[in-house]
Each structure stands twice: as C-alpha cells, then as structure tokens.
C-alpha cells in the first residue's frame, strides 16, 4: 500500500530506526526491495533518481513502482530521488510518485532555497512531503565519479540547516556529514556530533545520502543522533553484478540472460535483507 513520506518518518521516529530508501531503476532492484520490506512488514521507500534516466525513464519504470507499491502488503513510499529540476519532480508526480527530493545543493544558496520552496508548494498542494538537500557530497547517485572520501569543507553547517528548513518548509533534510555517493575508497569518517547538531538546529529528520557500504554500527550510531532515512543503492547493485559474473565464471556455457537476472536478484535481495535487519533492528 502507498504511504506518505511523513508516515514513514513518523514510524522511524516512534521506533528509533532508519527507513531504507532504495534506488530501484531496474526490476531486479525493485522486486528485491519490496520482497524484503514485505518479509519484515516494515515501511520502505522505493526511489528513482534523475541520474538513472539512462537506465530507465521515470515514465517507464515509475508506473511499475507505483503499481507494485499499491499492491504491497506493507507501506511503501514512491519517491523522486535527486530531482535536479522542478520539471523532473513534476514528471514523477504525473506518473503517481507521492514524495520527492529536490537537489539544489550545487546551486547558489538563494537559488536552492527558491527552487526547493517551489517544489514544496507543488507537493503540499497534493499532500506530499519533500526532502531538500544542503551541503555537498562527492560522487553521483549512480556510483560514477566518486572520490570515495568526503571533504569536511563541504559539510552542512547547523545554522545553515536551520535557516534552510525555515525558508523552504521541507519535511526532511539531506545533509553532508561524512558519507559519499558510490564506492568508498577510504574508511568513512562520519561526524556523529554534527548529525546531532543538524537535527537539533533544523528540527526535521536528517537524511543520509551515500548510505551504501557502511557497517551496521555506523548506521545505528547515525540513527541514534537523528538520521531517519538512509539512501542505498551502489552496494546492492554491485552485489547483483558480482552474482552475474559468478554465473558466467562457473557456467561459461550460459546462453540466456535470465540466468543472470535470477542470480542477480537473489544477491540483491540478500544484500537488502542485511540492510533492513540492521536499520529496523529486526531478527
């Protein structure tokens, strides 16, 4: 069933847990994410990022995401991730998405505020929540161009977070505090005290982007300090790739693509199962 972003965040707040937000540009990722959410009967967010338009257009994969969410036995949010333009967010809403993240983090501050506020106004008219972003994280959501290490000079400042939330009215705020998009090339150094300060200053749930590749202790330490939504993609997708490679290595006479997709889906599902059990503290 479809639920709103606020509903998912309220669940996380009441349970002191994190909501898994999975980018699902392929059916293998989408089915795996929903199966795991249904297995543990927890709310989950399925997302499509604008950078994944080269994989599947939101008009193609989006209706599938929405329909499977409606049919699900657990609560699912269908979320535009890293919408870089107001128009792209509206494209998501047009196909049935009920939540969005506008990413103006690389814009001048005033432009970020103005465009995020415009998205909030559009979403509010529909009863939807909006995630904004302040501060810059290296890399892209598809894992390309990642340096694998964060730059402290780009971390979000608490005073800026407070002003941004007040000016835009966002439901949740993605911040920079030590995580990166893509594969980690060094041990991440998460500023946990900064997370606490950002949550206190902004007064809204904090979103962790670049959530792939952390340890369960790192996730839970972040949750304890105010993170409520954890974006996850790269390491699940890589698990699928590794499984497909193993099929080809072990069975070089494989002659149909479906053998690879079946193996990839099982590996992605196992990867997401580990994530959900950690974030939601289920056994």
Q: Is the pLDDT of residue 185 over 60?
A: no
pLDDT, averaged across the chain: 93
- Which residue is it, tokens 């999975």? 22
Specify the DSSP class assigned to residue 2: B
SS3 162: helix
Per-residue pLDDT, averaged over 74-93, amounts to 98
User: What pLDDT sits at residue 184?
Assistant: 47
Per-residue pLDDT, averaged over 236-248, amounts to 97
Per-residue tokens: 22: 């999975």
Flag whether 264 is in a domain. Answer: no
Flag whether 223 is in a domain. Answer: yes
Count of structural domains within the chain: 1
Cα 104 to Cα 38: distance, rounded to the nearest angstrom: 33
Cα 165 to Cα 169: distance, rounded to the nearest angstrom: 5
pLDDT band at 17; cut points 50, 70, 90: very high
Q: Which domain holds residue 220?
A: 5-238
Per-residue pLDDT, averaged over 159-178, amounts to 97
Q: What residues contact residue 17 under an 8 Å CB cut-off, 6+ apart?
A: 11, 223, 279, 280, 281
User: What pLDDT sits at residue 181?
Assistant: 59
pLDDT band at 154; cut points 50, 70, 90: confident
pLDDT band at 186; cut points 50, 70, 90: low
Q: What is the 3-state secondary structure (H, E, C) of 221-277?
A: HHHHCCEEEEEECHHHHHHHHHHHHHHHHHCCCCCCHHHHHHHHHHHHHHHHHHHHH
SS3 173: strand
Note whether 16 and 224 are within 8 A (CB): yes
Flag whether 254 is in a domain. Answer: no
Other beta carbons less than 10 A from residue 68's beta carbon: 18
Flag whether 68 is in a domain. Answer: yes
Flag whether 277 is in a domain. Answer: no
pLDDT tens, 188-222?
Answer: 789 999 999 999 999 999 999 988 889 999 999 99
Specify the DSSP class assigned to residue 157: P
Q: Which residues are catalytic?
A: 81
Flag whether 261 is in a domain. Answer: no
Per-residue pLDDT, averaged over 119-126, amounts to 98
Flag whether 267 is in a domain. Answer: no
pLDDT band at 30; cut points 50, 70, 90: very high
Domain harbouring 150, CATH code: 3.20.20.70
Flag whether 156 is in a domain. Answer: yes
Q: What are phi and psi of 185, to 5 degrees?
A: -115, 5
């Amino acid at each position: 069933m479809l639920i709103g972003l606020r509903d998912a965040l309220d669940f996380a707040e009441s349970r002191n847990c994190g909501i898994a937000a999975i980018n699902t540009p392929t059916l293998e990722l989408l089915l795996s994410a929903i199966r795991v959410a249904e297995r543990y009967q927890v709310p989950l967010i399925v997302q499509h990022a604008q950078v994944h338009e080269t994989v599947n257009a939101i008009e193609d994969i989006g209706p599938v995401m929405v329909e499977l969410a409606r049919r699900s036995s657990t609560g699912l949010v269908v979320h535009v991730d890293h919408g870089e333009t107001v128009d792209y967010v509206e494209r998501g809403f047009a196909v049935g998405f009920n939540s969005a993240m506008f990413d103006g983090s690389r814009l001048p501050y005033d432009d970020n505020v103005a465009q995020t506020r415009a998205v909030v106004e559009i979403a509010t008219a529909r009863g939807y929540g909006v995630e904004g972003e302040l501060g810059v994280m290296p890399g892209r959501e598809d894992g390309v161009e990642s340096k694998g290490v964060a730059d402290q000079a780009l971390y979000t400042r608490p005073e800026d977070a407070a002003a941004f939330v007040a000016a835009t009215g966002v439901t949740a705020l993605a911040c920079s505090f030590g995580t990166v998009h893509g594969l980690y090339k060094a041990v991440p150094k998460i500023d946990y005290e900064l997370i606490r300060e950002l949550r206190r200053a902004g007064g809204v749930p904090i979103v962790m982007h670049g959530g792939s590749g952390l340890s369960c202790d790192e996730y839970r330490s972040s949750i304890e300090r105010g993170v409520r939504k954890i974006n996850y993609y790269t390491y699940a997708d890589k698990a699928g790739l590794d499984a497909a490679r193993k099929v080809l290595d072990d069975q070089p006479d494989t002659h149909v693509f479906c053998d690879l997709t079946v193996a990839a889906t099982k590996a992605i599902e196992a990867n997401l199962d580990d994530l959900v059990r950690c974030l939601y503290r289920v056994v």
